[in-house]
A and B are shown apart, each in its own frame.
Chain A
């Protein structure tokens, strides 16, 4: 039974891929439809000329900077909102209303403020990464056992010490959950921002081209369907790896929480 369970999907997908390949080759319209070996060729070509790695690392770099910015602003604000109730009540409507704006909607303003050199995309990513941090850090800090805080106070701990050794460790699991969501959201947003920028502004061979811009030029300039599918797969693999890494991090930093 178990062997059959594993064999069935494996067989199904093998047959599906072979059928896909055969169908496209037989239709005689290889330029119109993507097909497995074509995607593989696109992969070897873009890896050899280095364009895939260059674009991917550009996008990843922006995601990491945006993520760090989101964490740097989001965690302190979230902890403050969760720990000091009046602040939380006052700020959360603001956060909620700004959170409802899809990050990508800011792209026209971001292009105006920061230019097309990639900083506009950075703004979108940081905006996207900021809110999961705020919401989850606030949640984590709010649900802290007040007895722990009071006990620390009674034993003579000052405000700074309470925050550092009671609030932060207790909010850490929630903050890490926020970090995971944030990272996933940031990765989706960078692609959206780069696509929008690529469609809006033809970046004439500037060095700051990310995966999104590469997709736009593949679509409109090279008209290479296989390349598009390849980039989609790359995007999927990276978000899978990001999620895996964030879960690992979560498990190793907060082992007491299964």
Chain B
């Protein structure tokens, strides 16, 4: 059973009327205002800036950090993410390519993946610390490991669902192996690959935060405990929110990319609700 089997069809996008768009924006603004308002009221009631810093305090802390450590931490995290994710995607695609091409290798790669997949990236943290010490190696390895599986599973599922009739038709019309691969198989599998890439990034982001918290000497996750040492909870909250905003931006970006690249495909919304 692959994760890609969970296909959820999103409702068709509504017509982009300007008025409707305005209401959407208003709704988001109102929602944010309600959250910040609730947070403000709670922090006033608790009246303890360490236990629950007020939104204004956190915003000021965030502005302070922006000119100090935050840029450095974001860059360190992005470097971990970039290297680990690129390695994970490349390895996942390569494994998927050889296991769909050679049945013999599939019988080895497939059980290996199925054995390792239940062992979450998090479970590797202690071993990773042993292997790399407290360093950038731990988050990079964890991001690599976490992003490997969704892209592999989805790519294999994507290649397997290619309509055999299309392949046969292309063969009958005299297409070469390479042509079938580039003109039939790859376009048909692309929506699955992109969905896999997005799922991979989601789990990679979570693995990154956990790895930096426990086994790194740089990055956003590491900063959380750093500020906690000083009980600077306003700064901790600022970092938490930064993690959320960045994660949200990445997901939105990949979602838009996915929709744009595979606009032609009814499968462009292949996804597993997280």
Contacts and interface: CB of A to CB of B under 8 A. Distances in A.
Contacts of A103: 206
B274 A200 contact: no
Contacts of A116: none
Contacts of B8: 139
A132 B120 CA distance: 18
A8 B107 contact: yes
A132 B273 contact: yes
B196 to A, nearest CB: 16
Looking at B30, B118, B233, the one whose CB has the most chain A CB atoms below 10 A away is B118
Contacts of B30: 90
Given A102-B209, A112-B51, A233-B119, A12 B273 contact: no
Per DSSP, chain A at the interface is helix
Interface string A163-184: 0000000000000011001000
A108 interface: yes
A160 interface: no
Determine which residue in B50, B227, B241 has the highest number of CB atoms from chain A within 10 A of its CB, and name it: B241
A118 to B, nearest CB: 17
Interface string B213-252: 1100000010011011000010011011101110110010
Contacts of A199: 214
B79 interface: no
Nearest to A185: B274
A99 to B, nearest CB: 8
B206 A104 contact: yes
B240 A196 contact: no
Nearest to B240: A105
Contacts of B209: 102, 104-105
Size category, B interface: 35 or more
Contacts of A229: 127
A178 B8 CA distance: 12
A130 interface: no
B124 interface: yes
B180 interface: no
Interface stretch (A20-28, A44-52, A146-154, A234-242): A234-242
The listed residue with most A CB atoms (<10 A of its CB), out of B104, B206, B243, is: B206
Nearest to B51: A112
B248 to A, nearest CB: 4
Given A90-B31, A177-B6, A191 B108 contact: no
Interface of B: 1, 6, 8, 11, 24, 27-28, 30-32, 34-35, 50-51, 104, 107-108, 111, 115-116, 118-127, 129-130, 205-206, 209-210, 213-214, 221, 224-225, 227-228, 233, 236-237, 239-241, 243-245, 247-248, 251, 272-274
Interface of A: 5, 8-9, 12-13, 89-91, 93-94, 96-109, 111-113, 131-132, 135-136, 139, 142-143, 177-178, 181, 187-189, 191-192, 195-196, 199-200, 215-216, 218-219, 225, 228-229, 231-233, 235-237, 239-240, 243, 247
28 contacts: A5-B107, A8-B104, A89-B24, A94-B31, A94-B32, A98-B244, A100-B247, A102-B209, A102-B247, A104-B213, A108-B236, A109-B233, A112-B228, A143-B11, A178-B273, A188-B121, A191-B123, A192-B122, A192-B210, A192-B214, A195-B210, A228-B130, A232-B123, A233-B119, A235-B118, A236-B119, A237-B118, A239-B118
